[in-house]
């Protein structure tokens, strides 16, 4: 399949034109699609990794986790959970220190040997090279979201003291504002109005975020989605995490969708939508590339994996779906 640039920010394979005419249901990922998280969730990965390296492993001279590392792990299809990604980065950089290897080269070597099984693959790869049991035991990850030390550090940095206290009934060790305040909401009322004209109430969300977190940032826009048939996977058990197709399949069936457009920005999203189609429920994946620090690389990743539709932004959906 070949993606052809139809106009600015719109890339599609001609095979998907008929599919788009049949779409009767639309489901969104949240992060990187409805909200730009480069200054919130992504920064929380950076800060969490740095804090753990300095305070648990006494490593003060390691590299900063940058967008290339974040995008690298996410491109494997196994790191929809940002805390998983921070954990993988921490283990990799601790191992690099022990092996006296260049941390940048080493972490990209880890990424190259990772896949959609996420942290399981990373742990196995690193354990074959050096002893990482000390940091693994210190973090006891994943454990339970409420009690695990790595989750606590990440959540405290992301939510900030007030929201963390509200959500978890615990005090934060950090006093600065939560990084969630830097969420940049892309979705707006005018786009939703156009989508509602075509899809009525068949608009939902399947996201790795928890519902409280989504609500905090989207505010009055969230009730416009079919909440009953949405999935907020941070609130669910880990076995339902992307790319497990069940949450998306349940969402589609709950809305009686016959042909669905799933809008996401990651390989986990792509794999999940593909698996739903393979299970007999027609689902077209629409990749969003504009929130990536390297949109061209994201476009090439989607094309290599045979995505049929990639957009720079959700604001191009009305043009693609003939809603204007």
pLDDT tens figures, 211-245: 999 999 999 999 999 999 999 999 999 999 999 99
Provide the pairing of β-strand 283-288 with 260-264: parallel
Tokens of 179: 């990084």
Q: State the burial class of residue 163 (Cβ atoms within 10 Å of its Cβ: 0-12, 13-18, 19+).
A: buried
**What does the alpha-carbon distance between residue 63 and residue 110 come to, in Å, rounded to a whole number?**
15
Dihedral angle over CA of 208, 85, 138, 237, nearest 10: 20
Start-end of CATH 3.40.50.1000 domains in the chain:
4-36+184-320
Residue by residue, pLDDT tens for the chain (324 residues) are: 689 999 999 999 998 888 898 999 999 999 999 999 999 999 999 999 999 999 999 999 999 999 999 999 999 999 999 999 999 999 999 999 999 999 999 999 999 999 999 999 999 999 999 999 999 999 999 988 888 999 999 999 999 999 999 999 999 999 999 999 999 999 999 999 999 999 999 999 999 999 999 999 999 999 999 999 999 999 999 999 999 999 999 999 999 999 999 999 999 999 999 999 999 999 999 999 999 989 999 999 999 999 999 999 999 999 999 997
- Contacting residues for 23 by C-beta, under 8 A, at least 6 apart: 259, 260, 261, 284, 321
Full DSSP string of 73-121: HHTTT---SHHHHHHHHHHHHHHHHHHT--HHHHHHHHHHT--TTTHHH
Neighbours of 161 (CB within 10 A): 16
**What Cα–Cα distance (Å) separates residue 38 from each residue in 43, 113, 147, 180, 181?**
7, 25, 26, 11, 12
**What Cα–Cα distance (Å) separates residue 113 from each residue in 87, 126, 304, 308?**
16, 10, 18, 27
SS3 34: coil
Full DSSP string of 245-274: SHHHHHHHHHTT-SSEEEEESSHHHHHHHH
Alpha helices, H only, the chain: 17-22, 41-55, 67-74, 82-99, 103-112, 119-127, 133-139, 149-168, 189-199, 211-218, 246-254, 267-278, 295-304, 317-320
Write the class of the CATH domain 4-36+184-320: alpha beta
Q: Which helix (H) or strand (E) holds 231?
A: strand 231-232
Q: Quick check: 203 and 195 in contact, CB under 8 A?
A: yes
pTM for this one? 0.95
pLDDT tens figures, 179-193: 999 999 999 999 999
**What Cα–Cα distance (Å) separates residue 32 from each residue in 185, 225, 272, 314?**
10, 17, 16, 10
Q: Quick check: 316 and 9 in contact, CB under 8 A?
A: yes
């Amino acid at each position: 399949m070949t993606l052809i640039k139809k106009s600015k920010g719109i890339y599609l394979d001609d095979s998907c034109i008929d599919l788009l005419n049949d779409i009767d249901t639309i489901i969104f990922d949240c992060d990187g699609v409805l909200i730009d998280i480069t200054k919130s969730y992504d920064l929380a990965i950076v800060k969490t990794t740095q804090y753990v390296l300095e305070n648990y492993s006494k490593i003060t001279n390691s590299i900063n986790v940058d967008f290339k590392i974040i995008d690298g792990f996410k491109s494997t299809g196994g790191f929809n959970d940002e805390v998983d990604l921070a954990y993988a980065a921490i283990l990799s950089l601790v191992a690099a220190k022990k092996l006296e290897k260049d941390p940048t080269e080493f972490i990209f070597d880890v990424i190259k040997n990772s896949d959609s099984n996420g942290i399981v693959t990373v742990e196995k790869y690193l354990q074959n090279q050096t002893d990482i049991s000390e940091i693994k035991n210190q973090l006891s990850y994943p454990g339970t979201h409420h009690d695990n030390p790595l989750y606590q550090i990440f959540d405290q940095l992301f939510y900030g003291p007030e929201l963390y206290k509200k959500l978890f009934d615990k005090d934060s060790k950090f006093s600065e504002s939560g990084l969630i305040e830097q969420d940049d909401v892309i979705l707006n009322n005018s786009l939703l109005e156009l989508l509602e004209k075509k899809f009525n109430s068949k608009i939902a969300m399947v996201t790795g975020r928890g519902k409280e977190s989504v609500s905090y940032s989207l505010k009055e826009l969230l009730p416009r989605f079919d909440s009953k048939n949405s999935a907020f996977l941070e609130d669910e058990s880990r076995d339902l995490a992307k790319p497990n197709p069940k949450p998306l399949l349940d969402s589609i069936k709950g809305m009686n969708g016959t042909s669905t457009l799933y809008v996401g920005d990651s390989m986990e999203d792509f794999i999940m939508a593909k698996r739903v189609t393979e299970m007999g429920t027609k689902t077209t994946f629409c990749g969003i590339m504009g929130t990536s620090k390297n949109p061209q690389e994201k476009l090439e990743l989607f094309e290599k994996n045979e995505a049929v539709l990639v957009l720079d932004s959700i604001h191009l959906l009305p043009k693609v779906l003939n809603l204007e």
